[in-house]
Amino acid sequence: MTVTPHSDTASLPPLQEQPAAVLEKTPLERYVAPDKPSLVGMSRTALGAALGAIGVPDAQSRMRVQQLFHWIYLRGAQSFDQMTSVSKELRAELDRHFTLARPEVVAELRSVDGTRKWLLRLPSEHPAERPHEVECVYIPETDRGTLCLSSQVGCTLSCSFCHTGTQRLVRNLTAGEIVGQVMMARDRLGDWPGQSGRPGAQPGGGGPPTQGERLVSNVVMMGMGEPLYNFEAVRDALDVVADHEGLGVSRRRITLSTSGVAPMIPRAGAELGVMLAVSLHAVSDEVRNELVPLNRKYPIADLLEACRAYPGLSNARRITFEYVMLKGVNDSLADAKALVRLLKGIPAKINLIPFNPWPGSRYACSDWEQIESFSEVVFNAGYASPVRTPRGRDILAACGQLKSATEKLSARERLALRAMAMTD
Ligand code: SAH
Ligand code: SF4
């Protein structure tokens, strides 16, 4: 599930003006798993090893790694031919052994507000099995563009309100597949130096974009999967994503969302140095056990203790607590007051997420008035009001109106939407 981490953007056009543009889904039969490894996602060390394996002498390795890193992550090269500072012979040799492939895009949804959602196909671990599919979403806002990445195919944690948790197949994404989502998004958005997608960019023009110039300025690990259950790959991927000689998304602009794997939070603080978001969703263990079964293992008190100890917290650097609004389950004003009490003393932001229903889900989204009253309690306690009236239409869309809007779509478009579990 993907959530917009900030809700203070310009209002959206009415829903009927938002036809989702959909690319037709590539039939599975045409899928061919890549036969050569991709260099995309590799760290400098891994690139050095890859070069060593094809006979590049040690003495040249450092310089060649710098060149590859630059072409892959700063310039977004999609073929070795583009790497004009690399000798022709080495380019041919690289091409014989490697690719620069990103995850394959099988469907793309575009909204007129600029939001894009991609369904990506990844090879399964066993050639005989069907390939896997994960989602990646781009959410443009006035002052930033946020890319939401998946960390796993499916999720083992089975939160009762989350569609991802119902999926049978689970595998960890590799670091390459996580970085590959950023590369794919920047390809599709035209967000590389010299491409016209970037605001103020001159086609054919020069140098690396500054952070503010980039369409993808922020990254959130809030797509499918529990990132702290795929720690090493997420860490290695974020190291590449944050590298200022490449993709250059600073760690302050990267947020990792966890369902509450308390014992991993210190390690996340020590090794990732990114912003933390915690899916709290309830104020009592009784309710949270139901919503987030992991709570039976790591109850609220343990989770909040780990949060309090998260390094570098201050008013300018807060933990985001996510709270999904479920009608009659966790949305009373008593819950709101308890939430505020619970978080006392932790530099925190509270992100109220309207529940996004899916076929077969047993919950309903809280009424808009209830979300507003809940948000008011939170606001009066000194937290930035996380859900604002201008976003009403957007929020209603998340709570089921998108579904009725999609009833007007063609069968093919509905199919693609269904493929992304956005409607039934
Ligand atoms: N596994 C991690 C990150 C991915 S989920 C986590 O649980 O934090 C990202 C966010 O989407 C979480 O806060 C999750 O609780 C929320 N979410 C999942 N399903 C949802 C739904 N149907 N409606 C609204 N939010 C949902
Ligand atoms: Fe969904 Fe996150 Fe729970 Fe996994 S941990 S089931 S992705 S909400």
Q: Nearest 5°: CA angle at 309, between 305 and 314?
A: 120
Region 297-309: what's the mean pLDDT? 97
Structure confidence by residue, pLDDT tens digits, 233-268: 999 999 999 999 999 999 999 999 999 999 999 999
Is the predicted pLDDT of residue 184 greater than 90, yes or no? yes
Pocket test residue of 150, 159, 257, 264 for ligand 2, highest count of atoms within 8 A of CB: 159
- Within 10 A of 300 (CB to CB), how many other CB atoms are there? 20
209-213, 304-308, 319-323, 334-338: least confident range: 209-213
Structure confidence by residue, pLDDT tens digits, 376-386: 999 899 887 55
Is the predicted pLDDT of residue 58 greater than 70, yes or no? yes
Q: What's the residue count for the chain?
A: 424
Distance, CA of 374 to CA of 234 (rounded, Å): 34
Structure confidence by residue, pLDDT tens digits, 70-119: 999 999 999 999 999 999 999 999 999 999 999 999 888 887 777 888 88
Pocket test residue of 150, 162, 280 for ligand 2, highest count of atoms within 8 A of CB: 162
- What is the model's pTM? 0.86
Region 358-370: what's the mean pLDDT? 90
Instruction: Identify which of 296, 313, 239 has the alpha carbon closest to the alpha carbon of residue 262.
Output: 296
Three-state DSSP at 409 gives: coil
Distance, CA of 3 to CA of 310 (rounded, Å): 23
Mean pLDDT, the chain, whole residue set: 83
Residue minimizing CA distance to atom 21 of ligand 1? 356
* Exposure class string for 332-359: b at 16+ Cβ within 10 A, else e: eeebbbbbbebbeeebbbbbbbbbbbbe
Up-side HSE of residue 265: CA atoms within 13 Å toward CB? 25
164 lines ligand 2 (CB under 6 A): yes
DSSP run (H or E) holding 137? strand 132-140
Region 313-336: what's the mean pLDDT? 95
What is the predicted pLDDT for the residue at 268? Answer: 96
Both tokens of 396, joined, read 């209603």
399 lines ligand 1 (CB under 6 A): no
What is the predicted pLDDT for the residue at 178? Answer: 98
What is the predicted pLDDT for the residue at 212? Answer: 55
